[in-house]
Amino acid sequence: MTETFAFQAEINQLMSLIINTFYSNKEIFLRELISNASDACDKIRYQSLTDPSVLGESPRLCIRVVPDKENKTLTVEDNGIGMTKADLVNNLGTIARSGTKAFMEALEAGGDMSMIGQFGVGFYSAYLVADRVTVTSKNNSDEPYVWESSAGGTFTITSTPESDMKRGTRITLHLKEDQLEYLEPRRLKELIKKHSDALDARPEGRDEGGDPMATKHFSVEGQLEFRSIMFVPKRAPFDMFEPNKKRNNIKLYVRRVFIMDNCEDLCPDWLGFVKGVVDSEDLPLNISRENLQQNKILNSFYEQFGKNIKLGIHEDTANRKKLMELLRFYSTESGEEMTTLKDYVTRMKAEQKSIYYITGDSKKKLESSPFIEQARRRGLEVLFMTEPIDEYVMQQVKDFEDKKFACLTKEGTMKEVLGDKVEKVTVSERLSTSPCIR
């Protein structure tokens, strides 16, 4: 028996957007389907901890990716928890997830399709490469059912009691004529390695390059949670010192979804021989591809340990330039948010040659300092340095991205700011408590 259902309005709109939007990076569909399959395996695994019988005749959990060139189909199959008829109807068609509208708004605003999984609607990325999708699923508490749709506003659900499926989900993509590259085994292996290498699974028949010389596995729990494994290979790579070599040492994943191939901030260049994977459970993402979102945790870290970074600039000559990129200051333009030196430089006026700053006890006092009046009047941004260690830092660094640092309380800097309005600027030593008379 076959039943026909209409897609919920927002889901129908989302599918139309996916199908009709030109997007070159279609390969992310495989990442999303494998990620969903992995989640399904996790769910049945958790259930089996309290009730081992749920695994039945399939105790070994696995995910299979099967190309069929003759029928032009690609199948992603798992023996995870599976879906009931109600799950198929609700999860794949009639009940919009909370992220559906948010993702559509982000996509229409120019966001990146690759972050579709972060909004809980990754399944629909299948329509980037397929004009028809068939989902066969079997849950322990129900008989097998087949969900199918060509994204025409409706989908069908068919009971298939004769199916040989014991448990799990089989998603079959009927590929578009211009997407048949995803039937090539080499292409599939490349994508699986790129996007899904951090899954708790090992491909069958995988070639091993020998045991590593040393391995370090660790996890961190707290506000920011992540797991990591690092290893040193037994033999040095033959091209280790090749200057044009593309680095892919530390791969970063969020909830086992691939984010970037080489996260440079996690490992310095001189440790280029170290390989590893970092997987975070709760590191948030922007809709833009491969950009990590600055969040409260990282801001809190800077508030607590910003002085340590400045101490590193003072003492660690080798890493001074990298550490300077982490510095944050309040400024005349930043309001209640702190700004980086790089952001300051991007806002500089075309004729501006220096990065202006002023030191003092607090942001509030510096905002009312007479030394910044002329700079503000000329539209020049001024950084507020409110910690004693800031002055020591400025003694060690002279410039950033070829822009010299200039303190507004110094005579030469005031002459530079005032320009032709004055002939000379001299700091008076006669006044102690009386204001200057102009």
Give the tokens for residue 353: 């040659």
| pLDDT of 154 higher than 80 | yes
| Arithmetic mean of pLDDT, 11-21 | 75
Question: How much of the chain, in percent, has pLDDT values that exceed 90?
Answer: 34
Q: Please give the Cα distance from 342 to 324 (Å, whole number).
A: 9
Predicted confidence at residue 159, as pLDDT, reads: 93
Q: What is the pLDDT of residue 423?
A: 54
Tell me: domain 11-197, CATH 3.30.565.10, correct?
A: yes
CA distance 46 to 57: 17
Tens-place pLDDT, residues 64-100: 999 999 999 999 999 999 999 999 998 888 655 555 5
- Looking at the chain, which residues constitute the CATH 3.30.230.80 domain(s)? 220-287
Distance CA 327, CA 320 (A): 11
CATH 3.40.50.11260 positions along the chain are 327-418
Instruction: Please tell me the distance from the alpha carbon of residue 200 to that of residue 67, in angstroms, as a whole number.
Output: 23
Confidence of residue 136 (pLDDT cuts 50, 70, 90): very high
Under a CB-based contact definition with an 8 Å cutoff, are residues 347 and 422 in contact? Answer: no
Note the pLDDT of residue 107. 58
Architecture of the domain whose range is 220-287: 2-Layer Sandwich (3.30)
3-state secondary structure the chain: CEEEEECCHHHHHHHHHHHHCCCCCCCHHHHHHHHHHHHHHHHHHHHHHHCHHHHCCCCCCCEEEEEECCCCEEEEEECCCCCCHHHHHHHHHHCCCCHHHHHHHHHHCCCCHHHHHHHCCHHHHHHHCEEEEEEEEECCCCCCEEEEECCCCEEEEEECCCCCCCCEEEEEEEECHHHHHHHCHHHHHHHHHHHHCCCCCCCCCCCCCCCCCEEEEEEECCCCCEEEEEEECCCCCCCCCCCCCCCCCEEEEECCEEEECCCHHHCCHHHCCCEEEEEECCCCECCCCCCECCCHHHHHHHHHHHHHHHHHHHHCCCCHHHHHCCCEEEECCCCCCCEEHHHHHHHCCCCCCEEEEEECCCHHHHHCCHHHHHHHHCCCCEEEECCHHHHHHHHHCCEECCEEEEECCCHHHHHHHHHHHCCCCCCCCCCCCCCCCC
User: Closest by alpha carbon to 147, among 268, 297, 5?
Assistant: 5
Annotated binding site: 32, 36, 78, 83, 91, 98-99, 118-123, 169, 289
Dihedral sign for Cα 51, 54, 58, 64, please: negative
d(CA 6, CA 152): 9
Backbone dihedral region for residue 184 (phi beyond 0: left; psi -120 to 50: alpha; all else: beta):
beta
All CATH 3.30.565.10 domain ranges of the chain, comma separated, are 11-197
Return the minimum-mean-pLDDT range out of 162-176, 216-230, 349-363, 402-416. Answer: 402-416
The chain-wide mean pLDDT, for the chain, equals 80
Q: What is the pTM of this model?
A: 0.49
Residue numbers in the known binding site for ATP are 32, 36, 78, 83, 91, 98-99, 118-123, 169, 289
pLDDT at 388 over 70: yes
Please state, in angstroms and rounded to a whole number, the distance separating the CA atoms of residues 395 and 316: 14
| pLDDT at res. 281 | 74
The pair of three-digit structure tokens given for residue 194, joined into one six-digit string: 């790129």
| 327-418 CATH choice from 3.40.50.2300, 3.40.50.11260, 3.30.450.20, 3.30.70.100 | 3.40.50.11260
Cβ count within 10 A of residue 306 = 17
- Say yes or no to pLDDT of 35 above 90: no
85, 157 contact by CB (below 8 A): yes
Cα angle, residue 230 at apex, residues 49 and 236 outer, rounded to 5°: 140
Give the pLDDT mean for 309-326: 88
- For residue 289, the model assigns a pLDDT of 35
How large is the average pLDDT for residues 433-437?
A: 50
pLDDT digits (tens, 9 = 90+) for 392-420: 888 888 899 999 999 988 855 555 555 55
Residue scoring higher pLDDT (127 or 107): 127
Q: What's the rounded mean pLDDT across residues 285-314?
A: 63
